[in-house]
Amino acid sequence: MKKALVLTNGLYQTSDAKTAHGLVRGSERFLIAGIIDNTHTDNKDAGELLDGIHRNIPVFANLAAALFTIQDADTLIIGVATVGGKLPVEMLVIIKEAISKGLSIVNGLHDYLNDHSDLVELAQKNNSTLIDIRKPKKREDLHFFTGDIFNIKTPIVAVIGMDCAMGKRTTARMLMQACAKENIKAEMIYTGQTGWLQGSKYGFVFDSTLNDFVSGELENAILSCNREVNPDIIFLEGQSALRNPSGPCGLELLISGNAKKVVLVFAPKRIYFDNEEHWGKIPSVESEIAIIEQFGSKVIALAMNTEGCSNEEAFAIQASMESSLNIPVLLPIQKGVAPLIPVLKSLLQ
């Protein structure tokens, strides 16, 4: 694995840094050696700042401090996912500095590095590579929907959410890892840039795919995974939310991905979509479950994003919702996802 530094530049402890958060929690593609964020002094642990778990990933105030300590780093990853995918202007200075030091840059934003002629020229001079994960595929590399998905017998579980940045990918990865501990062969289909960065083999970047081919790319990823790996269960990483007006998404996973089971991620303290009041209030969990069931899928569990909750509040909400809805309510960060294993095992019978 290439040794990488992750640039968040003041956003590490915000939801915009969800790419960095995913990489701190784990990656099979890159060895994450440090975070660069100018709101922190050197040598705080990124894991402890994220969720209280020490992961031996230091936070550095700037690139110079990071390279002084991590002298064999060869990659800088842009660790933020901004609204609209725009590259923050202040990051360009740091990116240029990194290229001048010979680092390759991996970018998951819609603002492509290879469209910046000055960066391309600088990279060529310093033998650096510019990788734009979200750059759309060529037409000849895209797949159109075939319907072959309906022949798959492997259980397909979609992990979708009530809003953006709620922990859908993290929950899906945790479910996959929990399955592995029980000798259940599970795979995750990634649908965003962070899933690729974390090392997932099967998937595509949903929001950079030409709309006509979203269903086909999703189907092809599932079919390829099922054919090549023969998993016991397949998890689909959701994007955005069914009713988020900035990018409604999720029915594709249920219909084109033929996911008949759903783990629904919610945040009881979040009121508005993307915390933007003018975008409207997030609907009730009960109404979301009703919509999902109208499309022929079943919610087998909830997973709670506990932002803004004390542990006592989270446990109380968990108990109340389990009682009223009669399904497991997971607390992935506090208690893991193992309580869902018996339900998942029942799908394999």
Q: Residue with structure tokens 């932002």?
A: 307
Same domain, 315 and 334: yes
Say if residue 60's pLDDT is above 70. Answer: yes
In percent, the amount of the chain with pLDDT more than 90 equals 95
Q: Residue with structure tokens 């506990």?
A: 306
**What confidence category does residue 42 fall into, taking pLDDT thresholds of 50, 70 and 90?**
low
Same domain, 76 and 50: yes
Domain containing residue 127: 2-132
Q: What is the pLDDT of residue 40?
A: 80
pLDDT per position as a tens digit, 183-206: 999 999 999 999 999 999 999 999
* Listed residues 70, 97, 132: the one ending a domain: 132
Same domain, 301 and 187: yes
Task: Give the integer Cα–Cα distance in Å for 195 and 190.
Answer: 5
How many domains does the chain divide into?
Answer: 2
Report the CATH number at residue 69: 3.40.50.720
Task: Give the integer Cα–Cα distance in Å for 79 and 199.
Answer: 15
Same domain, 76 and 194: no
pLDDT per position as a tens digit, 10-25: 999 998 999 999 999 9
* Listed residues 132, 160, 181: the one ending a domain: 132
For the segment 283-309, the average pLDDT, to the nearest whole number, is: 98
Report the CATH number at residue 231: 3.40.50.300
For the segment 81-97, the average pLDDT, to the nearest whole number, is: 90
The per-residue DSSP string of 87-126 comes to PPHHHHHHHHHHHHTT-EEEE-SSS-GGG-HHHHHHHHHT
Same domain, 290 and 146: yes
For the segment 93-112, the average pLDDT, to the nearest whole number, is: 97
* Listed residues 132, 159, 174: the one ending a domain: 132
pLDDT per position as a tens digit, 313-342: 999 999 999 999 999 999 999 999 999 999
